[in-house]
Amino acid sequence: MNADPLDLDGHEMVIQCRDAGSGLRAIIAIHDSSAGPAMGGCRIAAYPSTAAALTDALRLSRGMTFKNIMAGLPHGGGKSVILLERPEDKTPALLLAFAERVNGLGGRYITGEDVGSTVADIQLMRKVTPHVRGIPENGPGDPSPMTALGVFVGIRKAVLHRLGAETLTGLTVAVQGLGAVGSRLCGLLHDVGARLVVADVDPARAREAADRFGAAIARPEEVHGARADVFAPCALGAVLDAGTIRALGAAVVAGGANNQLATAQDGARLAERGILYAPDYVINAGGVISTALEGPGYERGELLRRVHGIADTLGEIFEHAIADGVATSAVADRLALGRLEAARHARRSA
Ligand code: NAI
């Protein structure tokens, strides 16, 4: 982040929201709206400090700018965080007070589900603002199936590129995290005959995957080192650091988790080891594409076409990485910044 405290990581607008009546404490961060109204979910969590919440909001909203522009969506990047002291502090009054703040922005920021917020929470917010997405009645609803599909087509593209494999049949994929995205991804992989190694901190989820898909179970802290063709992180961020990269057992890393690289240098570390990394904000964009297409003109065929398009974007990144001899993460950042500059230029000239 820039040393100037007022720079706030290059954000266009950062708003602190407080409401004494409901106890609301929230931050809405709009990183860049050159490509269109900022879109990104509302994270609800107990943060150790306001500073930690601000850092999270800024990091996540900047990430949404990159994700949305690489997915070709007419949306900029934004994100909001609601700070809770305890989980039971998430009350309807607090959610409605937050929705009023979103509404006050007049559509500059569109919110939706994220860690800690549910479809029911968003449906409640819809009572006071139209600037929410992820309402099942208006389109595809839960974004996770499309996130999983995007990761699946991305894995197919990556193994073709790195291993020359035309099919996933018989290949082994190690999946870390068996939640909404990871469990659906396992289903898609199993359907095409891939072998699975799975891990989750919740042992019941790992056992369920073993029963349903004949998967082998690995320990959560060791799954990245499993002997596999692909490692698919679908749990936490920052799973790829100097230590885990050294121990990786797969030639391809392609999964749904956000912010997989602990630091920018870790992209280069992967490339140095000859491991093909599918940049997270490109491969996991299926959910935001699903959310963006929600509304009166929603067509499932168009949604599927665009989610399958993630493979083409990854193909372009992989080709550039080879041609220029740089890491795929660096190529993705460069492409995203180029598109962002073009959007900024178009807005200035409009
Ligand atoms: P989830 O909360 O449904 O599932 C996460 C799973 O990971 C849980 O089963 C949890 O027990 C497990 N887990 C947590 N820590 C772990 C560890 N250290 N090792 C192994 N397993 C662990 O979350 P969801 O929705 O499946 O999202 C997964 C990741 O994908 C997150 O990073 C999320 O930000 C990202 N993502 C999700 C999207 C979506 O549409 N749901 C869209 C884009 C990104």
pLDDT 10s digits, 186-233: 999 999 999 999 999 999 999 999 999 999 999 999 999 999 999 999
Complete domains list, the chain, with CATH? 8-61+76-133 (3.40.50.10860), 144-338 (3.40.50.720)
Q: How far is the CA of 278 from the centre of ligand 1 (A)?
A: 17
> In this structure, which residue's CA is closest to atom 30 in ligand 1?
257
Q: How far is the CA of 165 from the centre of ligand 1 (A)?
A: 27
pLDDT given for residue 3 in this prediction:
57
- Between CA 221 and CA 200 the distance in angstroms is 9
State if residue 78 touches ligand 1 by the CB under 6 angstroms criterion. no
> In this structure, which residue's CA is closest to atom 33 in ligand 1?
257
> In this structure, which residue's CA is closest to atom 42 in ligand 1?
287
Identify the burial level of 219 via C-beta atoms within 10 angstroms of its C-beta, where 0-12 means exposed, 13-18 middle and 19 or more buried.
exposed
ipTM: 0.99
Closest ligand 1 atom to Cα of 256: 30
State if residue 205 touches ligand 1 by the CB under 6 angstroms criterion. yes
Q: How far is the CA of 181 from the centre of ligand 1 (A)?
A: 7
Contacts of 23 (CB under 8 A, 6+ apart): 89, 91, 94
Question: How much of the chain exceeds pLDDT 70, in percent?
Answer: 98
Give 153-157 contacts, CB < 8 A, sequence gap 24+: 153/307, 153/308, 153/310, 153/311, 154/254, 154/278, 154/282, 154/283, 154/310, 154/311, 154/314, 155/189, 155/230, 155/232, 155/252, 155/254, 155/278, 156/311, 157/278, 157/311, 157/314, 157/315, 157/318
Query: What confidence tens digit (pLDDT) does each residue in 124-162 have?
Result: 999 999 999 999 988 998 899 999 999 999 999 999 999
Average per-residue pLDDT in the chain? 96
79 carries an active-site annotation: yes
State if residue 235 touches ligand 1 by the CB under 6 angstroms criterion. yes
Q: How far is the CA of 177 from the centre of ligand 1 (A)?
A: 6
